[in-house]
């Protein structure tokens, strides 16, 4: 009985960790969407976006102004970092739900009267249509949007002569964004 109580405490602690992972994923999602809008803005009108960002920065720190080239490369690598953290968080959440389901199965194995299935098993069995749509957005739409924006950014910079002074860094950053997004999609679609 003591072992079962300890295991149940472990299950509750694991669920608390899962809640923190979900919160982290939500924050990273918002951050990544903001960065995607900014990178898309650099594709559409880099001078206007640079001016708006510098006005904002000057209002925060007197005299702080960045050249378009620095902002462009900085945004690419910031997107790469946030995107990588986002993909890690989503994969961690999925693995944790599977682990919670295993914990529920072990806790419920000896007791037919009291079956625990509130998180892991419930999550995998009874996804509402809205949850399925959101999952599709997390697994497919967001990575495809990221890949599309990165490809358009590469084409746009190539077409206009790679307007930044950091041509190689931009290409590496955008290439890594595409590569990691493809690996994420493959992991999520083909490796359950």
**Residues 62-98: pLDDT tens digits?**
877 777 778 888 899 999 999 999 999 988 888 888 8
Rounded-to-integer distance, Cα 123 and Cα 98, Å: 9
Angle between helices 142-159 and 68-108 (to 10 degrees): 160
The closest of 10, 188, 15, 5 to 96, measured between CA atoms, is 15
Contact between 146 and 36 under an 8 Å Cβ cutoff? The reply is yes
Predicted pLDDT of residue 1:
46
Contact between 168 and 148 under an 8 Å Cβ cutoff? The reply is no
The three-state DSSP-derived secondary structure of 83-143 is: HHHHHHHHHHHHHHHHHHHHHHHHHHCCCCCCCCCCCHHHHHHCCCHHHHHHHHHHHHHHH
**Does the pLDDT of residue 190 top 90, yes or no?**
no
**Residues 16-49: pLDDT tens digits?**
888 899 899 999 999 999 999 999 988 888 888 8
> Which DSSP letter does residue 148 get?
H
**Residues 130-180: pLDDT tens digits?**
777 887 888 889 999 999 999 999 998 887 765 556 788 888 999 999 999
Q: What is the CA radius of gyration of the chain?
A: 22
Domain ranges of the chain: 2-190
């Amino acid at each position: 009985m003591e072992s079962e109580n300890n295991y149940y405490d472990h299950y509750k602690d694991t669920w608390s960790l899962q809640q923190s992972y979900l919160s982290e994923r939500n924050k990273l999602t918002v951050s990544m969407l903001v960065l995607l809008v900014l990178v898309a803005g650099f594709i559409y009108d880099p001078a206007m976006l640079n001016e708006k960002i510098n006005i904002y920065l000057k209002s925060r720190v007197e005299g702080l102004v960045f050249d378009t080239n620095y902002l462009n490369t900085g945004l690419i690598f910031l997107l790469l970092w946030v995107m990588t953290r986002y993909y890690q968080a989503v994969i961690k959440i999925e693995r944790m739900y599977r682990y919670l389901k295993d914990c529920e199965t072990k806790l419920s194995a000896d007791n037919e009267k009291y079956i625990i299935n509130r998180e892991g098993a419930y999550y995998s069995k009874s996804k509402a249509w809205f949850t399925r749509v959101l999952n599709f957005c997390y697994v497919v739409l967001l990575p495809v949007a990221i890949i599309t924006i990165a490809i358009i950014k590469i084409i746009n910079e190539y077409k206009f002569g790679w307007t930044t002074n950091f041509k190689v860094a931009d290409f590496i950053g955008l290439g890594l964004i595409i590569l990691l997004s493809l690996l994420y999609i493959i992991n999520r679609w083909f490796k359950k």
